[in-house]
Amino acid sequence: MNLLLQQKAPIHEALLRHKSNRVVPFDVPGHKGGRGNKELTDFLGENCLKVDVNSMKPLDNLCHPTSVIREAEQIAADAFGAKAAFFIVNGTTASVQGMIMSVCKAGDKIIMPRNVHRSAINALVVCGAIPVYVNPGVNKDLGIPLGMSLSDVKKAILDNPDAKAILVNNPTYYGICSDLRGIVDFAHEHGVKVLVDEAHGTHFYFGEDMPVSAMAAGADMAAVSMHKTGGSLTQSSFLLCGNGINPHHVRQVINLTQTTSGSYLLLVSLDIARKNLSLHGTELIRKTVEIAEYARGEINKLGGYYAFGKELIDKEAVYDFDPTKLSVHTRNIGLAGIEVYDLLRDEYDIQIEFGDISNFLAIISAGDRALEIERLIASLSEIKRLYGKDDKSDMFDHEYINPDVVFAPQQAFYSPKKSLSIRKSIGNICGEFVMCYPPGIPILAPGERITEEIVNYILYAKEKGCLLTGTEDMAVNNINVVEVD
C-alpha cells in the first residue's frame, strides 16, 4: 500500500471544490442544494444537501469514470491490494451479483455454500447459472452453519470439472472463515474462479492478525461491504478484482444493474472511509478487537450465555475466526437469540445486529464506548435473571437444514406457481424465497423441496418473532410452489 497515495481522497476534494465554486444548478436533483425542501435540509443539514449533486464534468460519471472517480478507484485498488476496484452504490448485493454475473452465464455451474446471502441466489435467478451446493459444517451445539472444509471443496470441484466459479463467505455472519488460501490454490489448479463474499470482512485488509483477506489469498473477485465494518454510509460497497479478471468487462456487467444516478454522498463516504482505514485502520481495528474480547469475556462470566471465539478453530470447517465478531449463544438460558434481540431493543433500548433461533450478533467497532459495552453486559445479566427459563425442551437444536435442490433457481422462480398454506406445502417445490432478515440467508430458495423439517423451522421462527421475508404473501402464511405437470 502506498501511504502517500492513500492520503488523497479525490471525490471528497472535488466536492469541496464544487461547493466553493458556488455553481448555479439548473440540473437535477430538484431540491437545488436543499433550498427546495427546507424540512429535509433542516433534518440532514445544508452541507449534506449541497453535495447531493448530479454527475457533471468536474465530478466525473460513475458509469464511465475518466477523472476523479477513476482516480479514487485506483487509490482504492492500491489500498486493498487489488488489480481494480469499483465504487458500488447499490449495496454489497450489487457487488455479489456483479461478481457472479461477470464470470457465469445461463447454464454455467457455480459451487457455493448453501448459507449464502440471498443476493447470491438472486444472481442465479437473474443470470441462469446453476448452483452446486457444498454443505457447510454444522455446529449443532451452537446451532450455526460453519465454513466449507477444503476436502469438501476439492470433492465438489473434482465432481464438477465444468464449474466456472466457486463462491466463498469470508467470514460468515458469525465470524467463521474457511481455508481461503487452500481453496484458491486448488480452484485455480482446476481453472475455477474464486469469488469471495466479504460483506463482513472489510477489516481483514487493514487489521493485524486478522484472517486472510480475499485479495491477499489470491482470489479473483471480492465484494467488500464498507458500510458494515469500514465506516462508510449504508448501501456503499467496493467490488474488487484480482489479476485473472478483465475489469472492463466487469464494469459493463455492473452497469447492467447499477443506477446511472450514483449518489455522491455514498461515493464520498467510500472515498473518505477508505482513506481513514488506510491511514488509521490498524489502530481502529486493534481497538475493535480489544472491545470485542473484553465483552466476550464478561458475557461468558454471566453463565448461561456463550460468546464464542477462536476456541472453535479446528482448521477444517472452522479454519479461522474473526475476533471482532461478538456472536452469543443463548439457548442455555432458555431463550432464542431473537427473543434476546427483542428484549434488548424493547426493554433496554439496545439495538444489536440480529437474533436467530439460537444466537445473536452484536456488531463491534472502534466507535463503541466503554459505557455502552457495560450497558449491554448488564442488560444481558438482567435478561437472564428476569426472563431466563430452565425448561429448554421446546428449543430448536440447529440453524442449518440441508437443501434438496430439484430445479435451478431461475427455472423455479419463473415457472407457473400456485399458493399453498405453509403446512400444505410440504413435499412441493418452492418457487420463491423464505428467509429471516437479517441475516438474509434463505431458509428456502426457489427450486428446493419443502420438507416437514423446514416447515417446522419456519413456524418456529415465526413464533419466536423472527422477521420472515421473501414470500409474495407479506404475512408469510402461504408459500408459492412450482406447478409440476
Backbone φ and ψ of 264, nearest 5°: -70, -20
Q: What average pLDDT score do residues 34-40 get?
A: 95
Other C-beta atoms closer than 10 Å to the C-beta of 232 total 26
The secondary element (H helix, E strand) that includes residue 249 is helix 247-257
**pLDDT tens profile 293-339:** 999 999 999 999 999 999 999 999 999 999 999 999 999 999 999 99
**pLDDT tens profile 216-265:** 999 999 999 999 999 999 999 999 999 989 999 999 999 999 999 999 99
Cell numbers found for residue 66: 475518466
Other C-beta atoms closer than 10 Å to the C-beta of 54 total 13
Whether residue 232 contacts residue 72, with contact meaning beta carbons closer than 8 Å, is answered with: no
Confidence of residue 408 (pLDDT cuts 50, 70, 90): very high
Confidence of residue 393 (pLDDT cuts 50, 70, 90): low
Determine what percent of the chain falls in helix, strand and coil, rounding each to the nearest 5: 40, 15, 40
| 21 and 137 both lie in a single domain | yes
CA-nearest of 261, 200, 266, 198 to 234 is 266
Among the candidates 278, 299, 329, a domain finishes at 278
The rounded distance, in Å, linking the Cα atoms of 123 and 104 is: 10
What amino acid is encoded at 187 in this protein?
A: A
Cell numbers found for residue 36: 427546495
Q: What average pLDDT score do residues 370-397 get?
A: 88
Residue 403: is its pLDDT beyond 90?
no
The rounded distance, in Å, linking the Cα atoms of 296 and 461 is: 26
- Residue ranges making up the domain that contains 338: 282-387
| 286 and 267 both lie in a single domain | no
- The SS3 call for residue 316 is coil
Q: Which residues contact 302 (CB under 8 A, 6 or more apart)?
A: 377, 380, 381, 384
Count of alpha carbons within 13 Å of 150, Cβ hemisphere only? 14
**pLDDT tens profile 259-276:** 999 999 999 999 999 999
- Look up the CATH number of the domain holding residue 67: 3.40.640.10
| 32 and 133 both lie in a single domain | yes
Total-model pTM = 0.94
Whether residue 360 contacts residue 341, with contact meaning beta carbons closer than 8 Å, is answered with: yes
For 112, left (φ over 0), alpha (ψ -120 to 50), or beta?
Answer: beta
How many separate helices (H) and strands (E) can be counted in the chain?
17, 20
Q: If you write DSSP's letter for every residue of 34-73 in order, what string do you get?
A: TTT-HHHHHHH-HHHHHT----BGGGB-TTS--SHHHHHH
**pLDDT tens profile 420-451:** 999 999 999 999 999 887 788 889 999 999 99
| 202 and 185 both lie in a single domain | yes
**pLDDT tens profile 92-141:** 999 999 999 999 999 999 999 988 999 999 999 999 999 999 988 889 88
| 379 and 421 both lie in a single domain | no
| 220 and 301 both lie in a single domain | no
Among the candidates 223, 243, 278, a domain finishes at 278
For residue 264, is it within any domain? yes
**pLDDT tens profile 40-68:** 999 999 999 999 999 999 999 999 999 99
For residue 397, is it within any domain? no
For residue 401, is it within any domain? no
| 325 and 439 both lie in a single domain | no
For residue 50, is it within any domain? yes
For residue 394, is it within any domain? no
- pLDDT for 295: 98
The rounded distance, in Å, linking the Cα atoms of 477 and 190 is: 45
| 134 and 272 both lie in a single domain | yes
Residue 34: is its pLDDT beyond 80?
yes
- Look up the CATH number of the domain holding residue 302: 3.90.1150.10
- pLDDT for 460: 87
| 232 and 298 both lie in a single domain | no
Whether residue 103 contacts residue 427, with contact meaning beta carbons closer than 8 Å, is answered with: no
| 290 and 265 both lie in a single domain | no
The rounded distance, in Å, linking the Cα atoms of 201 and 399 is: 22
| 294 and 250 both lie in a single domain | no
CA distances from 9 to 93, 274, 276 (A): 25, 8, 10
- pLDDT for 436: 85
The rounded distance, in Å, linking the Cα atoms of 68 and 47 is: 20
| 328 and 348 both lie in a single domain | yes
How many structural domains are present in the chain?
A: 3
**Among 134-148, 277-291, 343-357, the least confident range:** 134-148
Confidence of residue 394 (pLDDT cuts 50, 70, 90): low
For residue 51, is it within any domain? yes
For residue 248, is it within any domain? yes
Residue 375: is its pLDDT beyond 80?
yes
Cell numbers found for residue 483: 406447478
Q: Which runs of consecutive H residues, i.e. helices, occur in 230-336? A: 247-257, 264-301
Among the candidates 278, 310, 338, a domain finishes at 278
The C-alpha R_g of the chain, in whole angstroms, comes to: 23
Cell numbers found for residue 274: 477508505
**pLDDT tens profile 152-197:** 999 999 999 999 999 999 999 999 999 999 999 999 999 999 999 9
**How, if at all, do strands 193-198 and 176-177 pair?**
unpaired
For residue 392, is it within any domain? no
- Look up the CATH number of the domain holding residue 424: 3.90.105.10
